[in-house]
Chain A
Amino acid sequence: GAGVSQSPSNKVTEKGKDVELRCDPISGHTALYWYRQSLGQGLEFLIYFQGNSAPDKSGLPSDRFSAERTGGSVSTLTIQRTQQEDSAVYLCASSLEWDGSGGYTFGSGTRLTVV
């Protein structure tokens, strides 16, 4: 596609439920990133995928968070046993260069609300 596509755009879930967020990056972009943005805060790095390399999971806040990228394309971010502090906008980005040096392209995000 022309841009980074994320789904769903909005998700309301009950505390304790699991959620899956999907990201479809730009075709040909080898690097894929997940960030989250809480209200009034800057972007918080979560995880980074680059080609077939092991992902950098250093930003995942707890073991309730996991992500995978199948076939080097679509990625799914899973949050298990959601908590209210997980409420945020989850942004996916992809880049052509492995280090993002040419700039990232971001999706519109998934707004997650845990009630």
Chain B
Amino acid sequence: DAKTTQPPSMDCAEGRAANLPCNHSTISGNEYVYWYRQIHSQGPQYIIHGLKNNETNEMASLIITEDRKSSTLILPHATLRDTAVYYCIVRVAYNFNKFYFGSGTKLNVKP
């Protein structure tokens, strides 16, 4: 699976949009981009995933560049409860045994 690069931490003001970047320059054509987050003392929580097109659900939006070498997770109106470590993962859908989270981005939402 392709490796990902994320900034170690980011700050965001409550109520503002949080834009979390991820670089995955070695992504291959059949690899999906997944985003998870892990709030302290809880298991990872699925947020969103996509292959080529931008995706939106009730939690977030995922913007994937045309060359697929990077993506951005957007939390449109961050709340204090969104403070967590956000993980960007790329993997082939069936490669469940290589589901490696890496170090992620610690998002601090401040009042």
Q: A: which residues have CB within 8 A of B? A: 4, 31, 33, 35, 37, 42-43, 45, 48, 56, 58-59, 91, 93, 99-109
Q: Is B26 an interface residue (CB 8 A)?
A: no
Interface residues on B, range: 10 to 19
By a CB distance below 8 angstroms, the chain B residues around A37 are 101
A42 in contact with B97 given A105-B46, A108-B43 (CB within 8 Å): no
By a CB distance below 8 angstroms, the chain A residues around B102 are 42
Contact across chains for A33 and B96 when beta carbons are under 8 A apart: yes
Q: Which residue of B lies closest to A91 (CB)?
A: B43
23 CB contacts below 8 A, A to B, read: A31-B96, A35-B99, A37-B101, A42-B100, A42-B102, A43-B44, A45-B96, A45-B99, A56-B97, A59-B97, A91-B43, A91-B44, A93-B44, A99-B94, A103-B34, A103-B46, A104-B99, A105-B46, A106-B43, A106-B45, A108-B41, A109-B42, A109-B43
Contact across chains for A101 and B101 when beta carbons are under 8 A apart: no
By a CB distance below 8 angstroms, the chain B residues around A42 are 100-103
Contact across chains for B42 and A108 when beta carbons are under 8 A apart: yes
Most buried by A among B32, B49, B99, B101: B99
Complex CA distance for A109 and B103, rounded to whole angstroms: 18
By a CB distance below 8 angstroms, the chain B residues around A33 are 96, 99
Complex CA distance for A35 and B44, rounded to whole angstroms: 11
Q: Which residue of A lies closest to B46 (CB)?
A: A103
By a CB distance below 8 angstroms, the chain A residues around B46 are 103-105
Q: Which residue of B lies closest to A40 (CB)?
A: B103
Closest 6 CB pairs of A and B: A106-B43, A103-B46, A101-B93, A99-B94, A42-B101, A45-B97
A48 in contact with B100 given A103-B34, A106-B45 (CB within 8 Å): no
Q: Is B98 an interface residue (CB 8 A)?
A: yes
